[in-house]
Structures are given as C-alpha cells and as structure tokens.
Structure 1
C-alpha cells in the first residue's frame, strides 16, 4: 500500500514525497478513505502510530478541493488537543502536508500573549489547532466564531480527561454546528471517554489499530526494583552507557523533574527538564535541544510530554511509576514509534508496588526483571511476589464450586 493508492490529490502527494512518506501506517491506510467519504470516525490508537496525518490529510484535501467554492477565510476545521506542545506539533505537520495548497492555518494556546494569535485570526484561517482553555477565552472575547465549522477533531481524548478538560469540551460542543464531520481519537477507551465519543460522533466508523491499553510489541520493557533513595544513583549509572542516545525520563512532579535534572547535570550528563511551570520559550528551547541531540536527556512530567515527537527516541525511563496504569502505555509509546524498536525501563520502589500491579493487570504482559544491578533490592520483589501468592491462596480458600445437580432417578 502506498499513499498514491489512497486517491489523494497531487499537491498533497507532492508534499508527502518531500517528507519521504511512501507507505501509510495502518491507521492512515484505514482512516483516510473513510474520512474522504465524509464519515465520522472513532480512532483507537497509541501515540506514535501516525494519527496526525490520518486525520489532517483528508481535511486538507477536502478543504483544498472546496476552496474555490467558498473563498471566505472562516474557520472550517478545528483540531482540539490537550497540550501546547502537541498543538504546535500538529500545526507543524499540517504546514508540511498543506504546503502546496492555498490553505491558511494557525495554532493557539495559553501561557503566551494573545496578540499575535488574534492578529492571525483576524486575517482569516481555514484550519485552527487549539488547546481548550485558550479557545474558550478567545471565543468569549469574540475573536473566534465556530458557526462556519465543517470538521471537528478531538485528539488525545483520554488525556483530556486526565487533565480535567472534559468540562471545557462540554462548553465547546454546543458552539459547534450540528452538521459537521467529527473525528475522535484516543489511545485508551475508559467508560467516560466512550460516553463522550457517543455524544460527539454520528454513526461513526471505528478503527482500532492496536488492542485497547496494549503496549507495542517492539518495545523492550524491563524493570528494576530499587529503593527510592537509590533511584538517582541507578539512573546515573545506567546513563553512563553512551549507547543510550536519546532518553526521555518521566517524573511524577514538576519539582521532582527539576531535581533529577539538576543532579544529572552535576555529574556531567547534559539534561533539561520540561513541565508546566516552565515558560513557553523555555519548553520550546528544551524540545529543540533534545530533537537536535544537543541535549541527550529530557526529564518530563506526563502533561508536558504530550506532543514530544522525536525521531529514533531510543529509551524511555519511568523514574516514577504513574498513578494511572494507562499512562504507562502513553509513556512508553514515545519510543518504538512507527514500527521501530524501542526500550522502556521502569524503576519500582516499595511504595509503588500497587502501581506496578495495576500496570501488569492492564497490559497483560510480563516485564523483564533486571536482577543484576548495583542497587538491587530483593525485598521489594519478594513483597510483590508474596502479595500475588497471598491473593491466589485467598481465592483458592474462598472458592466454593457449585454443587452438581443430581440426576433424577426414574
């Protein structure tokens, strides 16, 4: 399968060729024909599977073909996404795919002065990429009107839920025209997200590229049992390996990510941190340095990590295990993208054993335990295994098979 077989117009094919895109990913091959038919779509796919191209290419094509019919520069497509980094990344991709068309696009997000954004909106745009807060703010200020909208995309819906944006989305939905094509993408489908999708979509086609809450097979996962006080020592020891080319480390808190970054820099490991307390310029510079490999290690919180799109990201470290098991899937999905191999390493201390149990339950896969390392702690592993055995024994003790029915003697 090639992009040329997907009935794409010449300007888009030329733009894709410039990016050396020849073969569509599974979600692109399935979604593009459906969307070109004008149908609503529910896409369940992990990060890194090519979702942005899957939803943006059909929108660009349809707007390009209809541009002569409606020359007004009114907002015709809205792409809603949870973080500024992801919004910027989507806008960069749309810029690449639409370079040979006459479409106008822009991105808006909070944390920066709005004047530049509102000036662009006044000049007219066809495609708007936005985060929920800034979108509502500019709607209330009368800078944005969604009455002319034809296409609506809700991306990373489960992350929207985790970040508390569902209330904002519910405020935005009544402002959209009833007649529109809607696209809904999420890496996982908990009940709340399923309910939201039902409210947004109209008889949608459903595409599920990978099993819900699964981890990519090509990602090599390993686990280190280590005390909390020894985590930074273990991380430093592992990062001495120069074969680890680009490393994304997940910390639970903003303060924790800054602390880890400081400790790594003190031992000569070039590191930057990215989180919500950093200014937009600082976050963008950190991402730029990481992408061009002048910074080898990036420490991130979950919210800030959305939108990090780095080719050949070799390793993801779960320095702190996430409270929500689905977040583990999101995190390690930053490596092993587009069919490449990747490595995901997790640290686990005593307090995180319940979180590890939830992860095991969700992904239904064994994570390789690394036993030979300097800071190995057998007590943590024993606690984990004993807990499993205890639950198994309780189940056997409490399990009472139903009595078999006696046969009726005649």
Structure 2
C-alpha cells in the first residue's frame, strides 16, 4: 500500500516521500481515507504508531481544497494536545507539510502552535493575520481567546490528540470551555493510545456515527521493540544503570523516574560518575526544556532523565533505549513510555528495573498489558532479596514502595477525592 492509494494529493504524497515516510502505518491506512470522507473518527493506536500524520495529512488536504482568503485567515481546524512538547512537535510537522504542499511558488496554509510556559505576546503577534490551523494546549488557547487573538466560530474540524492524557492531566474543565465555543456542525477526530471510561464517555458525547479504528496489540507493539525486565535491589539501580551504559556503549537513552526531584538527583549523580546525563521535566522553563532537548538530539547528552509529564510529546528519531528506572504509576503510562523507542519502523529496547518491593506493581502492569517477561539478572548485580520473597512480605498500608511513582488506584489522589466529592454531591441532589 502507498500514500497515493489513500486519496492524498500528489503534493502531499511527494511531501511524505521527502520526509522519509515510506509506506502508511496501519492507523494511517485506516484513518486517512475516513477523514478525507468527512466522517468522525475514533482511533486507538499506541504512541509511535504514526497517529499525528494520520490526521495531519488529510487535514491539510481538506484545508488546501478551500479558498484561503486574504490577509486575515479564519481558523478552520483545531488540534488540542496535552503538553507543550507535543504542541511543538505536531506544529512543526504540520508547518513542514504545509510548506511542501504549497510548492516553491504556492500560497501556504498558516499553521500556528500555542502553548504555555512562554510569553503570550509573540503568539498573539503571530496570529494578527489569522491562521488556518492551530495546534494548542487548552489553557493557552483559552488565554489567547481572552486576549481576542482567536475566534472558534468557524472551526470545522476538531482533533483531540492523546485524548486520554488530556483528561488525565486535569484538562476536563478547560476542554469543556473550548467545546462550548465551537460550532455544532464540525468533524471530530479523537486519537488516543487508550480509551478508559472517561475518554470513551467523551467520545460518545462528541462523535456522530464515527469510524472506529483500533490497532490490536500485535500491531500496536512493534516486534522491533524488545521489552526486558531486570531484577536489581533498589539501592543498586544507579550503579547498574551506569554499568549498562558503559558496558553497552549506549547513546541517547531516555530514563524515566517518578518525580522532578528524582530526575535532578539521578542526573546529578550519574554526571558525577562520568555519565553525560541531564534532567528534563516540567519544572524547567520552556526555553530551558527546548535547549536540553535540542542538546540531547544533537548528541551532547547520552542520557535524558525525565518524568512522564515532560516525556509526552518527545519524538526523537531512532531513539534506541528507554529505561524505566522507576516503574510507571499505571499500565497506560507504561504504554506511553516504551512507545518513545522503536518509532517509524526503527528497532528499540525498553528495560524496566524491578525489585522484590516493586514486583507486585510490575505484576499489575504486566497483567494489564498482557506481558509475560521473565526477570533477568546482570552478573555482579544479582538482588540480595530475591523476587520470590516479595510474596512473603507483609503489605504496609499507606506505604508506597520505592522505585515506583506510587501505584495508581491504590491510594486516591487529590483529584480522585474531588471527583468523588462532586459525584456524592450530585447524587444527593438527585
């Protein structure tokens, strides 16, 4: 199958070739014709499966087929994303495709990315001539609207990218405010790696007779991603990580930890041991985050120690290794983490470090993901406390094991408590 067979214009087919897209991925093959037909779409596919191009290509083709207007463009397509990094990544791809679509003498579509963490003034200035398509985080989009920088009354296509993360990160209220400003008649496209109950409820409310696309587990997790489980005592993880980096000569490794403080601490310790590691998380300024990411991509740093929040949206071509230094809070986060390697057909390795204390949490992740990985050991780093001993250890209520971000669902978060209180109040009013 080729991109030409999906109904794309010659200009966009040539653009895919120039950008190195050889053949459509499964989600692209199903989504592109559906979007071009004007149907609503609900697509579930893992991070790294090509979801962005699956909606970017047909969006641009549809916009280019309409009159572009004069100097002041009217916003006709809106893409909402959960993080600044993803807004930048999606915006850059759309701008690149739009420029190639126009050709050397053509009139290009105007694409603008809006995100927080930086001054709003340059973004407002860039919108003086309007935009055909905007990629935005919900909060910054609302700020721009309040500054009279945009109107949403002419939007005809809405995309929610990583819809599960939009709700998980607490954007429900902001998303509702955005939706109320959109015209009722529009095409809605929801793309997500997972569709938990809250996201499915949103899909049911937004979509009208959608085309359902679900890439099964065998298609979602490429055979090129090798998943490995290594048993090690919690207090020896850093030494093991240093050994693996030096022994295998790893470059460009993404290391996940549970907190911003943990990222800084681990990066500092590794650097003091001669490993070129740096931290990347939401506590850095937008300029600082962009600089660190650019330095990592250019090869200045070998290890990028990051959190789940900051890593959503990171797209590094050919990233070879992902390490779960701390296990993720939930199976969904595991999916997003390992999806950063093995992208676009490249091979990748995803390693998770587990101890006797964190084994129950790993078992939960493995059960939800359908994984059957045998824990391996590295010579010289065999755990003093075997994993088999975990079953005999008494549970400690309220005590979260080190090496995890806290087991999601075991202890209600502040957000969970607020939701429960709201639900109780609503039930009382009925």
TM-score, scaled relative to structure 2 = 0.86
- State which structure, 1 or 2, has the greater radius of gyration over its C-alpha atoms: 1
Give the CA deviation at 1:308.
0.9
Q: Contact conserved, 1:152 with 1:182, CA < 8 A, in 2?
A: yes
| Corresponding position: 1:148 with 2:180 | no
Moved more, 372-381 or 298-307: 372-381
Give the CA deviation at 1:109.
0.6
Q: Which residue of 1 is the match for residue 340 of structure 2?
A: 334
Q: Contact conserved, 1:302 with 1:331, CA < 8 A, in 2?
A: yes
Closer, same or farther: CA 121–325 of 1 in aligned 2, 3 Å: same
1:198-248 deviation digits (Å, cap 9, x = unpaired): 112111101112339964443211112222221111111111134423210
Q: Which residue of 2 is the match for residue 58 of structure 1?
A: 58
Report 1:195-234 matches (<5 A).
195-211=201-217, 215-234=221-240
Q: Which residue of 1 is the match for residue 127 of structure 2?
A: 121
TM-score, scaled relative to structure 1 = 0.90
User: Match of 2:183, SS?
Assistant: coil
Q: Contact conserved, 1:187 with 1:213, CA < 8 A, in 2?
A: no
Q: Which residue of 1 is the match for residue 305 of structure 2?
A: 299
Distance 1:229 1:162 in 2: 31
Report 1:328-367 matches (<5 A).
328-367=334-373
1:4-37 deviation digits (Å, cap 9, x = unpaired): 2122112222322221323111111111111000
Distance 1:374 1:173 in 2: 56
Q: Which residue of 2 is the match for residue 84 of structure 1?
A: 84
Closer, same or farther: CA 2–291 of 1 in aligned 2, 3 Å: same
Q: Contact conserved, 1:322 with 1:355, CA < 8 A, in 2?
A: no
Q: Which residue of 1 is the match for residue 14 of structure 2?
A: 14
Distance 1:332 1:75 in 2: 35
Q: Which residue of 2 is the match for residue 408 of structure 1?
A: none
Q: Which residue of 1 is the match for residue 326 of structure 2?
A: 320
User: Match of 1:369, SS?
Assistant: coil
| Corresponding position: 1:190 with 2:190 | no
Give the paired residue count.
Answer: 387
Distance 2:219 2:330 in 1: 12
Q: Contact conserved, 1:46 with 1:210, CA < 8 A, in 2?
A: no
For structure 1, which runs of at least 5 residues remain unmatched after alignment? 388-410
Q: Which residue of 2 is the match for residue 407 of structure 1?
A: none
1:263-290 deviation digits (Å, cap 9, x = unpaired): 1111221112110110111111111112
Distance 2:299 2:219 in 1: 31
Closer, same or farther: CA 58–214 of 1 in aligned 2, 3 Å: closer
User: Match of 2:153, SS?
Assistant: coil
Closer, same or farther: CA 226–214 of 1 in aligned 2, 3 Å: farther
**Equivalent residue in structure 2 for 1:251, among 240, 257, 260:** 257
1:288-336 deviation digits (Å, cap 9, x = unpaired): 1121222211111001001111111111000000111211111011111
Distance 2:128 2:358 in 1: 50
Give the CA deviation at 1:72.
5.1
Closer, same or farther: CA 96–284 of 1 in aligned 2, 3 Å: same
**Equivalent residue in structure 2 for 1:175, among 153, 171, 181:** 181
Distance 1:30 1:253 in 2: 37
User: Match of 1:272, SS?
Assistant: strand
| Corresponding position: 1:287 with 2:298 | no
Distance 1:40 1:242 in 2: 47
Give the CA deviation at 1:182.
0.7
Distance 2:283 2:229 in 1: 30
Report 1:384-395 matches (<5 A).
384=390
| Corresponding position: 1:162 with 2:176 | no
Distance 2:327 2:242 in 1: 18
Q: Contact conserved, 1:213 with 1:362, CA < 8 A, in 2?
A: no
1:35-69 deviation digits (Å, cap 9, x = unpaired): 00000100101111111110011010010011257
For structure 2, which runs of at least 5 residues remain unmatched after alignment? 103-107, 394-430
Give the CA deviation at 1:105.
0.7
